[in-house]
Amino acid sequence: MSSTPRKENSSAAIAYARMLDDIRNGTLQAGDRVTETELASRLELSRTPVREAIRMLEVDGLVEHVPRVGATIRKLGYAEVMELYDMRAVLEGTAARMAARTASDIELAELEALNADMVACDDLPQAYHLNRQFHLTLLDAAKNRFLIKAMAGLQKTLLILGPIILSDPTRAADSVTEHEAILRALRDRDADAAEAAMRTHIEAGHRQRLRLLRAERRVAPQAEDVLAEAFRD
């Protein structure tokens, strides 16, 4: 029996992982066109696994087909960003509450080290990586496989938004301070305070993200239907 199908599946997984990395680091941004030919050439793969990887990203909600344009990295609407951050506050707030009870001393030390590295970091991609690792480590410390699974899809959608939010030095500094408040609550084993601190942290990022969206669109809508009305004028 030929091993070609297995090889194609493996190549598709490689293409998928590489494209996720490109979205994560900003090489592929919301609205960018995704073409099989260009990707196959850049990834040094045939078009078949690249086509499958694009289909997988479409299933994840990261790629959409735009009429007369083709496959593009999906742009989130204003209302979608609000819903995404609302859900993130619920899930990560719950993770912090659980971690206050279940995190080991080693996990707390790792979280403290990651936040300390963020303080010393002056490289945006590395700061984004450290911030992401902080949140993933805290999620692991909650020790709830169903919560981790629920967060997985949300984290993929968050990739579309990119690391731009930490490019603001004030927001980056505030993020570190907010992490410290979370860490204090975790060290004190105070579940209520840990959840509240995490929700405060996520909501601060949410406000910054909405400010960026408003600046992009030069309007201050309250929901997607308001945006649609504004663009009809």
Instruction: Quickly count: other Cβ atoms within 10 Å of residue 33's Cβ.
Output: 12
* pLDDT value, residue 204: 94
* pLDDT value, residue 119: 93
> Which CATH number does 78-217 carry?
1.20.120.530
Global confidence as pTM: 0.79
* pLDDT value, residue 209: 87
Give the whole-angstrom CA distance, residue 155 versus residue 87.
Answer: 11
- Show Cβ contacts of residue 2 under 8 Å, excluding neighbours closer than 6 positions: none
- Please report, as a single letter, which amino acid is at residue 167: S
| Full pLDDT tens readout for the chain, 233 residues | 444 444 456 889 999 999 998 888 888 888 899 999 999 999 889 999 999 999 999 999 999 988 888 899 998 888 899 999 999 999 999 999 999 999 999 999 999 999 999 999 888 778 888 999 999 999 999 999 999 999 998 988 888 887 666 667 788 889 999 999 999 999 999 999 999 999 999 999 999 888 887 876 654 444 444 444 444 44
Instruction: Quickly count: other Cβ atoms within 10 Å of residue 60's Cβ.
Output: 15
Domain edges within the chain: 4-73, 78-217
* pLDDT value, residue 229: 46
Structure tokens at 178: 């907010």
Fold: same for 4-73 and 78-217: no
Q: Indicate the fold that domain 4-73 takes in CATH.
A: Arc Repressor Mutant, subunit A (1.10.10)
Length of the chain in terms of residues written: 233
* pLDDT value, residue 218: 56
* pLDDT value, residue 8: 52
* pLDDT value, residue 206: 92
Rg (C-alpha) for the chain, rounded Å, is: 20
Instruction: Quickly count: other Cβ atoms within 10 Å of residue 215's Cβ.
Output: 10
* pLDDT value, residue 223: 46
CA distances from 233 to 127, 223, 226 (A): 41, 17, 11
Give the whole-angstrom CA distance, residue 189 versus residue 128.
Answer: 27
- Please report, as a single letter, which amino acid is at residue 116: A
* pLDDT value, residue 171: 83
| φ and ψ of 73, to 5 deg | -70, 130
Collapsing DSSP to helix, strand or coil, 66 comes out as: strand
Cβ atoms of residues 107 and 57 within 8 Å: no
